[in-house]
């Protein structure tokens, strides 16, 4: 089953609450937390996340692009996060951090940047529910998908299948009507999309079209 996670990063910052409320059919609402250190951009802090949780129907999916994520995860859980993605590159003790997140009761994803090999998650697959493959370099929305990242998605899906593990593979960056089918065919089942949803005048309609294209790519006999 395909899950869609529109990313608020692409919404008008002056109207974030309205944007959060505009996609009630999303499976997750994706929120990119950036600290100006792990990535150059600076975005959402816990009070803003808490305020958005009151406007959004979908559960909040936080992608922490921050250094030392272990210092802040509890604050983001208290603010309303239901899934948290932490970067393998940012966590000094990734396994311990995932155990902490598990004890806090949230779904856990491990994120990897385009230059990070898929093997970086191999020894923590028992401690997460999802792997988030960055399909652009993190920091900004509106970039083009890097094709080599989909080969990592294929490798990860093959590894999961060979180990009999049921884990979500999330792709994030440059997902639109042109790229979504290739991402799904590579093995992704959860799609983060910012510009393709909130860059349109009709976020709910854009989300529905993207979901239909993704589901079409899963169904044999349909061309997308
Ligand atoms: O994590 C991100 C950037 O670091 C964003 O979620 C991602 O770039 C989605 O935006 P778009 O769909 O516009 O590429």
Residue 220 has pLDDT above 70, yes or no: no
Least Cα distance to 36 among 186, 161, 139, 170 occurs for 139
CB distance 6 to ligand 1 below 6 Å: no
- For 80-134, the pLDDT digits (tens) are 999 999 999 999 999 999 999 999 999 999 999 999 999 999 999 999 999 999 9
Q: Write out the catalytic residue numbers.
A: 32, 172
Token duo for residue 47: 């009070």
Q: State how far the Cα of 215 lies from the Cα of 14, in Å rounded to an integer.
A: 33
Judged by average pLDDT, the poorest of 107-111, 161-165, 200-204, 217-221 is 217-221
pLDDT category at 183 given cuts 50, 70, 90 is very high
Half-sphere exposure of 65 (CA within 13 A, CB side): 26
The CATH code of the domain that includes 65 is 3.20.20.70
Q: CA separation (Å) from 76 to 49, 52, 106?
A: 8, 12, 10
Q: CA separation (Å) from 54 to 30, 45, 51?
A: 15, 15, 6
Residue 223 has pLDDT above 50, yes or no: no
Q: State how far the Cα of 9 lies from the Cα of 174, in Å rounded to an integer.
A: 13
Overall average pLDDT of the 2-21 stretch: 98
- For 42-58, the pLDDT digits (tens) are 999 999 999 999 999 99
Q: State how far the Cα of 72 lies from the Cα of 114, in Å rounded to an integer.
A: 24
Residue 114 domain-assigned? yes
CB distance 130 to ligand 1 below 6 Å: no
Other Cβ atoms within 10 Å of 71 Cβ, number: 9
The pTM score is: 0.97
Residues in the chain: 224
For the chain, give the mean pLDDT.
97
pLDDT category at 222 given cuts 50, 70, 90 is very low
Question: Cα of 163 to ligand 1 centre, how many Å?
Answer: 30
Question: ipTM > 0.90?
Answer: yes
Contact 33, 44 (CB under 8 A): yes
Residue 79 domain-assigned? yes
Least Cα distance to 179 among 141, 221, 150 occurs for 150
Which residue range forms the structural domain that includes residue 111? 3-218
Token duo for residue 181: 């089918």
Q: State how far the Cα of 145 lies from the Cα of 175, in Å rounded to an integer.
A: 7
Residue 224 domain-assigned? no
Q: State how far the Cα of 207 lies from the Cα of 14, in Å rounded to an integer.
A: 21
pLDDT category at 72 given cuts 50, 70, 90 is very high
Residue 137 domain-assigned? yes
Q: CA separation (Å) from 70 to 32, 63, 76, 95?
A: 16, 13, 11, 11
Residue 192 domain-assigned? yes
Residue 197 domain-assigned? yes
Question: Cα of 32 to ligand 1 centre, how many Å?
Answer: 8
Q: CA separation (Å) from 14 to 18, 156, 212?
A: 9, 38, 30
Q: State how far the Cα of 111 lies from the Cα of 156, in Å rounded to an integer.
A: 12
Token duo for residue 69: 């994520």
Residue 141 domain-assigned? yes
Q: What is the pLDDT of residue 219?
A: 79
Q: What is the pLDDT of residue 108?
A: 98
Q: State how far the Cα of 217 lies from the Cα of 224, in Å rounded to an integer.
A: 6
Residue 224 has pLDDT above 60, yes or no: no
Residue 223 domain-assigned? no
If one counts the domains in the chain, the total is 1
Question: Cα of 142 to ligand 1 centre, how many Å?
Answer: 7
CB distance 193 to ligand 1 below 6 Å: yes
């Amino acid at each position: 089953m395909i899950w869609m996670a529109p990313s608020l990063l692409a919404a008008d910052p002056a109207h974030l609450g309205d944007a959060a409320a505009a996609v009630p059919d999303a499976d997750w609402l994706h929120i990119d937390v950036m600290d100006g250190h792990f990535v150059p951009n600076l975005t959402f802090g816990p009070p803003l996340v808490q305020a958005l949780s009151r406007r959004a129907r979908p559960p909040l999916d936080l992608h922490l692009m921050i250094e030392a994520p272990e210092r802040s995860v509890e604050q983001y859980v208290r603010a309303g996060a239901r899934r948290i993605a932490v970067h393998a590159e940012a966590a000094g003790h990734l396994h311990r951090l995932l155990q902490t997140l598990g004890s806090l009761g949230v779904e856990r994803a491990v994120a990897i940047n385009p230059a990070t090999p898929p093997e970086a998650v191999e020894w923590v697959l028992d401690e997460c529910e999802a792997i988030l493959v960055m399909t652009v370099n993190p920091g900004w929305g509106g970039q083009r998908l890097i094709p080599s990242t989909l080969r990592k998605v294929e490798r990860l899906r093959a590894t999961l299948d060979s180990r009999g593990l049921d884990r979500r593979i999330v792709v994030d960056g440059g997902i639109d009507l042109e790229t979504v089918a290739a991402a799904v065919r590579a093995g992704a089942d959860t799609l983060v999309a910012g510009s393709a949803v909130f860059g349109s005048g009709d976020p709910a309609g854009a989300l529905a079209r993207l979901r239909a294209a993704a589901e079409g790519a899963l169904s044999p006999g349909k061309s997308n």
